[in-house]
Amino acid sequence: MKRTALACGRSLALLLALGICVSLPMQATAQMAAGKSKFVGSAMGGSAPSNFATYWNQVTPENATKWGSVEGTRNVMNWGQAHVAYDYAVARGFKFKAHTLVWGAQYPGWITSLSQAQQRAEIEEWIRLVAQEFPQTWAVDVVNEPIKTPLPFKNALGGDGATGWDWVITSFQLARQYFPNAKLLINEYGTENDQNARNQYLNIINLLRARGLIDGIGVQAHYFNLDSMNASQMTTALNAYATTGLDVYISELDITGGGSDSGQLAKYQDLFPVMWNHNSVKGITLWGYIVGQTWRDGTGIVNSNGSERPAMTWLKGFVSGSGGGGGSSVWLEAERGTVGSTWNDNIADSQAASGQYVTVKPGNNSTASAPTTAAGWVSLPFNVSTAGTYRMWIRRKTPSANDDSFWVRMDNGSFAMWNNIPVASSWAWAQYPTTFNLSAGNHTLTFGYREDGAQLDKVYITSGTDTPSGTGGTPNN
């Protein structure tokens, strides 16, 4: 039997069960993601910042639910700081995620001196006690960093075994047993811009998915990867995870942008819309937000005096103005979609929006009918928050009458020929001649090549009556 070292952090649920009257604070209404279909949360340290609920509606303890923090001394459980985050979340109706059950770092040092049988018993007891202590847990990171941080006591969970990852599978089996109502997530860093690591991660994920053991994918998205990435690379990574059919969560987001306000802002503006508007991404959690209180210098977006850095000011406006991953007006960069092999992707042009565009590779023409495979398409997923009639504009170059057309399809409808787009040798906006009746939710706009000289830069989809100009608005993909 474990004994509890700190009782001052007892859960809200326990207080209510004992009949103790608890005054619950009203849920803040100013969070940027209030009313959205996706959350924006933050990690929380040992205390709750006074402005936390002003911004965020999801909570992950930064360290307090790690095994090494809770049971540094065998059989003595320190739940106090974990309850700071848990009780805060439960009282406000925020999603609470436990982080993390099995990890090759920040585990109690005494575990490595035990026999394998004893280790297995202690691991299972640990998982059971976390579930028991935090019954309203929304999700749990079952295994953290299986690729990047080796687990010294993995043999107690089956080791590599026949699959190469038996210890991960056993961990998820135990978690499913004790957390039957929580989402079971895996979490890893460094896969965003490393295809080899991403393929290893997908292998583990698919082993779990085949056994019905996993509900979502955690992508840590730390500054040491994101600061050197672009939106197209992030789209590629998220599209790879989307192939599993599982929900994706950006689990530990931080960005420095080189350390300056302007650099951090620019990188947020480049990458955050890709993550927020991707159909598979269901929520984003920053890994802390107050300058001086994050795990790495330069990642905070609110100063210690409460003033906001430019990235936070922009982030609030972007999320609150979106439709929970889109809206009644959506801007899409063509090169950030899924671009088929018969198109040239990410062509640099200082006059293009975001500095890049796509065009059909020379010699590829399909004037009689649309291309029948994805190799001939540019697919652009997006989301609108309200049903309605939507118009579409494209920013394009159509340099001659022989280079002035595309095939266009919305969702799973038929391709329609869009020919005789007005000739334009420089970037200009053209309105699609018909409208789309869209339901609220996710959609996919697809362009097929028709004439190989037509160039596509940006797309604007709107239920309004405005006409786009210049390079348009902030992209939502």
- What are the residues facing 380 on neighbouring strands? 445
Q: Is residue 159 part of a domain?
A: yes
Q: Is residue 469 part of a domain?
A: no
Least confident of 74-83, 306-315, 382-391, 452-461: 382-391
What backbone phi and psi angles, to 5 degrees, belong to 12? -60, -40
Confidence of residue 29 (pLDDT cuts 50, 70, 90): very low
Is residue 263 scored above 50 in pLDDT?
yes
Give the integer Cα–Cα distance in Å for 66 and 60.
Answer: 11
Same domain, 434 and 309: no
Q: Mean pLDDT, to the nearest integer, of 448-472?
A: 89
Least confident of 11-20, 36-45, 64-73, 358-367: 11-20
Confidence of residue 329 (pLDDT cuts 50, 70, 90): confident
Does 145 participate in catalysis according to the annotation? yes
Q: Is residue 200 part of a domain?
A: yes
Does 252 participate in catalysis according to the annotation? yes
The pLDDT score that the predictor gives to residue 12 is 42
Q: Mean pLDDT, to the nearest integer, of 305-318?
A: 93
Q: What pLDDT digit, counting tens, does each position of 110-150 carry? A: 999 999 999 999 999 999 999 999 999 999 999 999 999 99
Q: Is residue 472 part of a domain?
A: no
The pLDDT score that the predictor gives to residue 277 is 79
Same domain, 36 and 162: yes
Peptide bond between residue 386 and the one before it cis (omega within 30 degrees of 0): no
Is residue 204 scored above 50 in pLDDT?
yes
Q: Which of 278, 295, 325 is the last residue of a domain?
A: 325
The pLDDT score that the predictor gives to residue 21 is 34
Share above pLDDT 90 across residues of the chain, in percent, rounded to a whole number = 77
Catalytic annotation, pick one of 71, 133, 192, 252: 252
Same domain, 66 and 41: yes
Q: Is residue 198 part of a domain?
A: yes
Is residue 299 scored above 60 in pLDDT?
yes
The pLDDT score that the predictor gives to residue 477 is 79
Is residue 28 scored above 50 in pLDDT?
no
Q: Mean pLDDT, to the nearest integer, of 275-294?
A: 93
Same domain, 302 and 342: no
The pLDDT score that the predictor gives to residue 214 is 98
Same domain, 271 and 360: no
Is residue 276 scored above 90 in pLDDT?
no
Average pLDDT along the chain: 90
Confidence of residue 474 (pLDDT cuts 50, 70, 90): confident
Same domain, 312 and 429: no
Q: Mean pLDDT, to the nearest integer, of 273-278?
A: 85
The pLDDT score that the predictor gives to residue 405 is 94
Same domain, 314 and 357: no
Same domain, 335 and 321: no
Residue 111 maps to which CATH number?
3.20.20.80
Catalytic annotation, pick one of 71, 145, 192, 451: 145
Is residue 303 scored above 70 in pLDDT?
yes
Same domain, 302 and 344: no
Residue 454 maps to which CATH number?
2.60.120.260
Give the integer Cα–Cα distance in Å for 134 and 123.
Answer: 17
**How many structural domains comprise the chain?**
2
Same domain, 14 and 93: yes
Residue 215: domain span: 3-325
Is residue 3 scored above 70 in pLDDT?
no
Q: Which of 325, 357, 382 is the last residue of a domain?
A: 325
Same domain, 71 and 198: yes
The pLDDT score that the predictor gives to residue 82 is 98
Q: Mean pLDDT, to the nearest integer, of 386-412?
A: 93
- SS3 track for the chain: CCEECCCCCCCHHHHHHCCCCCCCCCCCCCCCCCCCCCEEEEEECCCCCCCHHHHCCEEEECCCCCHHHHCCECCEECCHHHHHHHHHHHHHCCEEEEEEEEECCCCCHHHHHCCHHHHHHHHHHHHHHHHHHCCCCCEEEEEECCCCCCCCCHHHHCCCCCCCCHHHHHHHHHHHHHCCCCEEEEEECCCCCCHHHHHHHHHHHHHHHHCCCCCEEEECCCHHHHCCCCHHHHHHHHHHHHCCCCEEEEEEECCCCCCCHHHHHHHHHHHHHHHHHCCCEEEEEECCCECCCCCCCCCCCECCCCCECHHHHHHHHHHHHCCCCCCCEEEEEHHHCEECCCEEEEEECCCCHHHEEEEECCCCCCCCCCCCCHHHEEEEEEEECCCEEEEEEEEEEECCCCCCCEEEEECCCCCEEECCCCCEEEEEEEECCCCEEECCEEEEEEEEECCCCCEEEEEEEECCCCCCCCCCCCCCC
The pLDDT score that the predictor gives to residue 184 is 98
Is residue 438 scored above 50 in pLDDT?
yes
The pLDDT score that the predictor gives to residue 326 is 41
Same domain, 253 and 343: no
Q: Is residue 127 part of a domain?
A: yes
Q: Which of 325, 346, 367 is the last residue of a domain?
A: 325
The pLDDT score that the predictor gives to residue 14 is 41
Q: Is residue 376 part of a domain?
A: yes
Q: Is residue 404 part of a domain?
A: yes
Confidence of residue 25 (pLDDT cuts 50, 70, 90): very low
Least confident of 20-24, 72-76, 332-336: 20-24
38 versus 209: which is more confidently predicted? 209
